[in-house]
Structure 1
C-alpha cells in the first residue's frame, strides 16, 4: 500500500501498536463493542487496515479484505465526526483502490447512510444492487469501484 500525504494528512498502513488509538476513534468500539475491538486488533495485525492521521492523531481508517467472492471489499470505513467532509474518507477510499490486488473492489452501506452514499458517488463508485435482510428495515446498497487504480 502506498503512503500518501496531502496537506497535513498522511495515509499509511496501520501497525498493531495503533490498535488502541483506532479503537478510541471508532464509535462502536469505543462504546465497548468487544467484537469490533477484536476486529480492529486483527485487521491491524493482518495488515489490512490503513489509517489517515494528522499531527493530532488518527482521523479515520479503512479496511480492505478479500473474502467477498475473492474480490477486494472495503469492509469498514470510519472517519471521526470532526474530520468528515474534509476529504479524509475520500483519501482512504483512494488508498483502498490503489492498493487493491483484485480486478474489482466492492463495498456496501445501508440505505439510511446518506453521507457514505454521497462519498461513494463523489469517489466515482457505481451502485451495483440492493440486498434486503442484513439489517432489518434498512437494506444494504452495494457499490463497485469501476477502475481500481492498483491494476
Structure 2
C-alpha cells in the first residue's frame, strides 16, 4: 500500500484467476505450503474468498465459509506483510460482515496471534471461548461478531 490509506482499497469477491496472486500475499502459501495453495484455489473457485486490493494489486484476503454449525465463519484472514497495520484487516472484516448470510458469524485465532486479537477486539468482536488441543501449547480463542453488525440483521 506504500503510503496510501485504506480508503484506496477495493474489496471484492476473488475469482479463480486471482488464486496465484493471493498465493503471493499469503506468507504460508508463498513459502511453498501445498495445502494452503490448494486451499486458496478451492476458496477462489467456491467464491468463499474476499480480496482486498489497491493500485499495486492484492494486499490481503479473507475466507468466509458456513461450515461452523452452519453459521458464518472467517476461516482465514491474511494481510500481506507489506500492507499490515494500514486498515486492510479492518476493511476485510467489514466486507465479511456485510457478505455473511447467516445470523451468526464467528472466527478464531491462536492465543499467540496477538495482531489478530487486536484487530478483532478493535473491530468490536467479542470473545466466545477457548479451545485447547488444536495446536499443542497454543490454544485457540474463538470470537463472534455482534449480530447488529451483520448485513442480515
| TM superposition score normalised by structure 1 | 0.94
Gaps of 5+ in 2: 1-5
Partner of 1:55: 55
Count of aligned pairs between the two proteins? 146
Gaps of 5+ in 1: 1-5
Larger relative strand fraction: 1
Partner of 2:125: 125
Partner of 2:65: 65
Q: Secondary structure, in 3 states, of the residue corresponding to 1:60?
A: strand
Q: Deviation above 6 Å: which 4+ runs of structure 1? A: none
**Offset at 1:83?**
1.2
Q: CA RMSD in A?
A: 0.8
Contact 2:126 2:145 in 1 (8 A): yes
**How far apart, in 1, do the equivalents of 2:91 and 2:67 lie?**
23
Partner of 2:3: none
Larger relative helix fraction: 2
Partner of 2:23: 23
Partner of 1:88: 88
| TM superposition score normalised by structure 2 | 0.93
